[in-house]
């Protein structure tokens, strides 16, 4: 390499490294926005917890009525591995299974209803009608039909959590660009090809919106079932602790439920990001 070429290469590398140093990985405004979204909720939660702790101790509130956060944290540390984790595992597994079943049923039912105007007019009003029935009132029927085992809890959880998936998926399947559908017909694509290549990828954001709601409903369904029939699970533990006036244990179990729900929701959000990137939705 000639000296002139070597000097030119060094100047190019220097300019490139200077540009890399000057260009941050994230713009300052975007980084500040992320920090704001994280720090503000955390600061607000800390303010509430401190106010709760101080108020309970200053007013000398009985722990049976409202224990301070420090007592809840103490109970959480004492009983997490021997008791709370033992009861959390069946609740988590049943919630995840119910969520997966309700998501699959909801997407399948929405695809079935969107395939024909006649089918939609015949069945969609009945689906809505079933959802207008108070869910708690039907819980004893699931026990009569399926017994006191996990089957009744799973069925009840699926029953109350699949409806948001149906509604959201159906909205996504119906909101496809009409020009794309006309193009598919012009290219003589079958109904299945149109559904697989156009309608379903377009509906992905809607599907995951319904699935995010279903995460909460699946957990609620399992907890309600555990209130009624189970001998294990966080719902059973909450009911048992309430009979013993163990308010700190009740709130500790609820805290574990909140943590699980947050992680569950986050995993669905990550799956949405990956899926939308994969399909370009």
Mean pLDDT over all residues of the chain? 83
Q: What is the pLDDT of residue 281?
A: 61
**Rg value, the chain, Cα:** 26
Are 210 and 106 a contacting pair, CB within 8 Å? yes
pLDDT tier at 12 (50, 70, 90 boundaries)?
very low
Exposed/middle/buried for 249, CB within 10 Å: 0-12, 13-18, 19+?
A: buried
Closest among 213, 218, 224 to 137, alpha carbons compared: 224
The number of angstroms, rounded, from the C-alpha of 178 to the middle of its chain's C-alpha atoms is 31
CB atoms within 10 A of CB 246: 20
What 3-state DSSP class applies to 38?
Answer: helix
In the structure, what pLDDT confidence band is assigned to residue 19 with cuts at 50, 70 and 90?
very low
Q: What is the mean pLDDT of residues 130-158?
A: 84
Q: Which two tokens stand for residue 85?
A: 């984790």
Question: What does the pLDDT look like over 112-122, one tens digit per residue?
Answer: 888 888 888 88
**pTM for this one?**
0.80
Q: Where are the alpha helices (DSSP H) in 115-134?
A: 117-132
For residue 247 the two structure tokens come to 């308010």
- What is the arithmetic mean of pLDDT over 202-209? 90
What is the predicted pLDDT for the residue at 232?
A: 84
Least confident of 19-28, 75-84, 162-171, 184-193: 19-28
Q: From CA 139, how far away is CA 53, in angstroms rounded?
A: 37
Count CB-CB contacts under 10 A for residue 235: 25
Average pLDDT of the residues in 151-164: 90
Q: What percent of the chain has pLDDT over 90?
A: 34
* Helix (H) or strand (E) run with residue 133 in it: none
Close Cβ partners of 231 (under 8 Å, ≥ 6 residues apart): none
- Supply the DSSP symbol for 281: -
Q: Which of 16-20, 111-115, 203-207 has the lowest mean pLDDT?
A: 16-20
Predicted confidence at residue 251, as pLDDT, reads: 93
Q: Under a CB-based contact definition with an 8 Å cutoff, are residues 59 and 228 in contact? A: no
CA distance 225 to 217: 12
Residue 1, SS3 per DSSP: coil
In 3-state terms the chain splits into helix, strand, coil percentages (rounded to 5) of 85, 0, 15
Q: What does the CA dihedral 37, 40, 45, 50 come to, rounded to 10 degrees?
A: 160
């Amino acid at each position: 390499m000639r000296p002139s070429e070597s000097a030119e290469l060094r100047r190019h590398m220097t300019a490139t490294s200077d540009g890399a140093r000057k260009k941050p990985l994230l713009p300052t405004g975007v980084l500040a926005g992320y920090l704001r979204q994280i720090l503000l909720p955390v600061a607000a939660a800390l303010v509430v917890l401190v106010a709760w702790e101080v108020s309970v101790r200053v007013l000398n509130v009985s722990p049976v009525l409202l224990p301070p956060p420090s007592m809840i944290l103490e109970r959480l540390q004492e009983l997490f591995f021997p008791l709370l984790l033992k009861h959390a595992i069946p609740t988590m597994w049943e919630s995840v299974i119910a969520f997966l079943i309700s998501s699959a049923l909801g997407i399948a039912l929405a695809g079935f209803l969107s395939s024909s105007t006649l089918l939609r007019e015949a069945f969609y009003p009945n689906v809505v009608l079933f959802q207008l029935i108070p869910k708690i009132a039907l819980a004893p029927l699931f026990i009569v039909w399926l017994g006191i085992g996990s089957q009744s809890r799973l069925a009840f959880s699926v029953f109350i959590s699949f409806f948001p998936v149906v509604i959201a998926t159906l909205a996504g399947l119906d909101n496809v660009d009409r020009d794309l559908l006309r193009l598919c017909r012009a290219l003589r694509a079958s109904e299945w090809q149109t559904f697989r290549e156009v309608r379903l990828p377009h509906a992905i954001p809607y599907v995951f919106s319904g699935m995010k709601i279903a995460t909460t409903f699946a957990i609620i369904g399992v907890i309600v079932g555990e209130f009624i029939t189970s001998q294990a699970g966080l719902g059973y533990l909450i009911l048992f602790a309430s009979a013993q006036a163990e308010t700190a244990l009740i709130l500790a179990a609820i805290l574990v439920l909140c943590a699980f729900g947050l992680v569950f929701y986050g995993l669905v959000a990550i799956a949405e990001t990956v899926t939308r990137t994969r399909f370009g939705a």
